[in-house]
Amino acid sequence: MQRFIDKFLRFLEIEKNYSAHTILNYRLDLEGFSNFLKYSRLGSVRNNPPKADIVSKGEISNRAGYDEAVDIEKIDYLSLRRYLAALKEKNLKSRTIARKVSCLKTFFKFLVREGYLKDNPAILVLGPKVDKNLPNFLSEEDVVRLIEAPQRDTVLGLRDRAIFETLYSTGIRIGELVSLNKDSLDYISGMAKVQGKGKKERLIPVGERAIEAIRKYLNIRQSDSKALFLNDRRVRITARGVRFVLKKYINAVSQKQNISPHTFRHSFATHLLNRGADLRSVQELLGHANLSTTQIYTHLTTERLKAVYDKAHSRA
């Protein structure tokens, strides 16, 4: 089983250009499934259910006999159904279970296509229905308060403001932000080159206020590092570091507690659409491969909906 997992992950890395983070999640899901199959051979799943860490995190059990190999050809539809039943017993979220089902479907489809299996045991497996939640976003007023919260007379304050300005100005993902270098930006044309999912590069516009904030930060910081944003140790800031920075300012500017760097991306897309931007343009700016992904942002605020209704309806 493990050699097939390794072949599949190499395929994702080389052929599909998946990110290291995505490949790690696939590995954990598949090894969790493999460990479940090994464990279930030692006793009844119903009477002796696998532990949560075995099922969901892919960690190896120290139980005797657990290193027995799994015969990939003996995995059938019932094996997958037992696995899903074990996941549900752990009260995992529907979205988590759906992701694991999608991972298994992709894995077995790969094995059939490459000739390692004749039949796909996952072809009839259905995951749980996942409710589509509207993205969490900030109002334009909250965005302004958050951007202006950092101090302007310190290096870290200027850096924090530049990070917030860049996130909101461009709508880029946190991974794209922390990978930016100083030469990623063209300060004259106001464009930046970012590397998105699947290592795909794209050019995006950067607003004047974001460029001004970046200039002020770079002018005062003392480092020859090629990285655009540095932490307090003068090395490239990480995604975790940006989340920590953001957390410092949340309580001061907004009553919402579930704010993350991705909230800037949601706010960016929502505000553009609320101000009349077309969906295709927003798709290009966000770097979405499919328009359906961008359509989650077509929700509008109550005020915007009421304004459109009052203007367009003859009996409003």
Q: Which of 27, 262, 299, 304 is catalytic?
A: 262
Q: Which of 159, 265, 266, 271 is catalytic?
A: 265
Known catalytic residue: 271? no
Known catalytic residue: 288? yes
Known catalytic residue: 173? yes
HSE at residue 74, side-chain half, CA atoms within 13 A, is: 8
Q: Which of 100, 159, 271, 288 is catalytic?
A: 288
Evaluate whether 206 touches 191 at the Cβ level (below 8 Å): yes
Q: Which of 38, 82, 173, 271 is catalytic?
A: 173
Residue 43 phi, psi (nearest 5): 175, 175
Rounded CA-CA distance 36/142 in Å is: 46
Q: Where would I find the H helices in the chain?
A: 2-14, 20-40, 52-56, 77-89, 94-113, 140-148, 155-170, 174-178, 208-220, 239-253, 261-274, 279-286, 291-294, 302-312
Nearest to 75 by CA among 24, 48, 38: 38
User: Which residues 6+ apart lie within 8 Å of 303 measured at CB?
Assistant: none
Q: Which of 197, 209, 299, 304 is catalytic?
A: 197
Known catalytic residue: 265? yes
Just list the catalytic residues. Answer: 173, 197, 262, 265, 288, 297
